[in-house]
Chain A
Amino acid sequence: MKKPYFSLDHLTVGYQGHAVVEDISIELAKGQILTLIGPNGAGKSTILKTIVGQLPVISGEIRIDQKNIADISRSELSRKMAVVLTEKIKTELMTCEEVVATGRFPYTGRFGRLSEDDYRVVEESMELVHVTQIRDKDFMRISDGQRQRVMLARAICQEPDIIILDEPTSFLDVKYKLEFLSVLQKLRSMKDLTVVMSIHELELAERVSDRILCVNGLKIDGYGSAEEIFRPGYITSLFGIHAGSFDESNTSMELKAPDRERQPDLFVLAGAGSARSVYGKLQRENTPFITGILYENDLDYPVASALAAQVISTPAFEPVSEDAMRQAQEAVNSCRKVICCRSEFGSLDTCSEQLLDYARSMNKEIDFLYADRYNGRK
């Protein structure tokens, strides 16, 4: 591994000498992205506040380029590290451009006058996050999302080697969330920028992070690469999820399954991702159901496992076993009604078709989701 650029060495953080999170040790190479995830109030912000010097270190060390941050002078540090906080700032008669330009502070002279070069950097930073159009608007009169981007431009303008972001995506809509993260990736590849940020969107954390630090209470709960952290069951336990479920392999979440106590009397004939909307509808109606026959790599499968009372599944790339078929027939038998979500069956997928025929022969009530498109025998 390259020499670490940013590291926390047995760092303990907290308020007024009381530890909130203890013994944090991480190492980041230049250009790596670290995200902090964890439940609300777990101490993510406390860690970030300590890194930026808003809170004093309780014990341990924060190092940049192998040097203890406490030994780096104010002015040197201000050229190395930039921050974007969640707290909204109030400005008076400041245009967005002026807010961005404050990032040049560490580079200007006694009275803070900007040179042509400084203005060029301001210009580039604004272009990078697409705020050039609103440069002359009052900072207090733009949307939260725009403000967030202006603050990012301000941080970029500081030309740091490392940037600390506290929940940078929270006010952004999906378009700007993606744009924001792609800007970070761009900066990383262009300028070898190291990023430390806390983030709430787990699906984004999983996609963008090189390292993930899981914060939950006094001890660090986990630290590693995205693959290591998003292993089955971990996120559910980290966040103590009760009212639903989280699927680590897809970083997708589902609400609580319909009442499993009640005997389901509905069979959903699913497959090829056709049944997800039906599952969702049944969840909203709190109607328990059985579903099948699903290959375990089917798009329907993770949703079905989260929501169905029973899933009749079969390993992928294998013929459907007789056992599974029998199970499915029994399930259909126990139900009053069948919802067929398929509009067609493939030539290698005869079992679903057989199951439909079986339901028909048992005189079950059958709803066709794609009645208009269904080209089979009704």
Chain B
Amino acid sequence: MNTHRKKRSRCIAMLILLAAAALVLLVLNVCIGSINISLAEVLQSISGNGTGTFTQILWSIRLPRALATLILGGALALAGYLLQTFFYNPIAGPFVLGISSGAKMVVAVVMVFLLGRSIRVSSAGMILAAFFGAMISMGCVLLISRKIKGMAMLVVAGVMIGYICSAITDIIVAFADDADIVNLHNWSKGSFSGITWDNILVMAVVVAAAFIVVFLMSKPLSAYRLGEVYAQNLGVNVKLLRIGLVLLSSFLSACVVAFAGPISFVGIATPHLVKKVLNTAEPIWMIPGCFLGGAVFCLFCDLLARTVMAPTELSISTVTAVFGAPVVIWVLISRKRGQA
């Protein structure tokens, strides 16, 4: 009985630690930049006593960006965790399976089409478009996964789908007007910049809702870890669960793409790091763990993206790849060793 308590307290401690890390990184992201703002000034601004430029930068640039990074990073990691659970595949993720690229493609189509007619697209509209695109890719991946076995082949297929979608996006962008291109080009490479408070509100509500639904699924997900047959025998409605997994993972990935474009390696790498930190793979711990872990990972990477080569800003995917790709390689190697 004691071991259960010990495990529980360890998990809780680690979650608190992750939350604290996210908070610290959030503050650092707000403070550090081309103009450094001290913590005292930040607190002043937030309490409404701030002055001029600092408050301006803080409210319209730094704070929305940092919050978006936190929310979307969490969403991305959660999407990755759900996909890995769904496919029983440790190297699945929204980016490698082409889901992000599918979402990107449809968003690009919608943006070019509507911006050409000077219609502004709302946040919700963007999410919807992205979700539609994500479902197209997901549909392709699902069809392919019925035909082929093996986790490597699935990922290769996903990467190919991603390439096709990216190619189509490039063609669409080439047809767009000049002014739009600049906008689209930044976005299609993935970036947390240019987020408004309206965006934040929408993404917070939507991601929170998705998170709650996922968390409520933690018990069936736990049974699903032993495979479909055992899950079914334990009374889980496996069909419903699988549909839920597909929809939720696509939806979360779509959310991220709608606001920040495709971002690589967060979804694939974070769940493994979190598993190591928590030393368990139980969904009830993994779900909040992945969200916090993804937030920490993205906040950390975005901080580097903004500061390392300042004043030039690196693309966020460049930084996430530097830290995420080795994790994937490590996962593959330790898997092989486990089999031998």
Chain A residues within CB distance 8 Å of chain B: 52-54, 74-75, 77-79, 81-83, 85, 87, 89-94, 98-99, 102-103, 105-106, 108, 110-112, 114, 116, 119, 136, 140, 158
Contacts and interface: CB of A to CB of B under 8 A. Distances in A.
B222 interface: yes
B229 A111 contact: no
Interface stretch (B51-59, B200-208, B232-240): B232-240
A81 B227 CA distance: 17
A74 B237 contact: yes
B226 A89 contact: yes
A54 B223 CA distance: 16
Contacts of B233: 52-53, 78, 81-83
A158 B88 CA distance: 24
Contacts of A116: 1
Contact of B230 (A79, A102, A119): A102
B223 to A, nearest CB: 5
Given A93-B280, A119-B4, A105 B227 contact: no
Given A91-B225, A98-B282, A158-B234, 10 more contacts: A53-B232, A54-B232, A83-B230, A83-B233, A85-B229, A87-B229, A89-B227, A90-B88, A105-B222, A105-B223
B281 A74 contact: no
Interface of B: 1, 3-4, 88, 216, 218-219, 222-223, 225-227, 229-230, 232-237, 275, 279-282, 284, 338
Contacts of A111: 218-219, 284
B229 A92 contact: no
Contacts of B222: 102, 105, 112
A110 B234 CA distance: 14
Contact of A94 (B3, B281, B338): B281
A136 B219 contact: no
A79 B280 CA distance: 27
Nearest to A106: B235
B289 to A, nearest CB: 12
Given A93-B281, A94-B225, A112-B222, A102 B234 contact: yes
Contact of B227 (A82, A87, A110, A158): A87
A111 B227 CA distance: 19
Contacts of A54: 229, 232
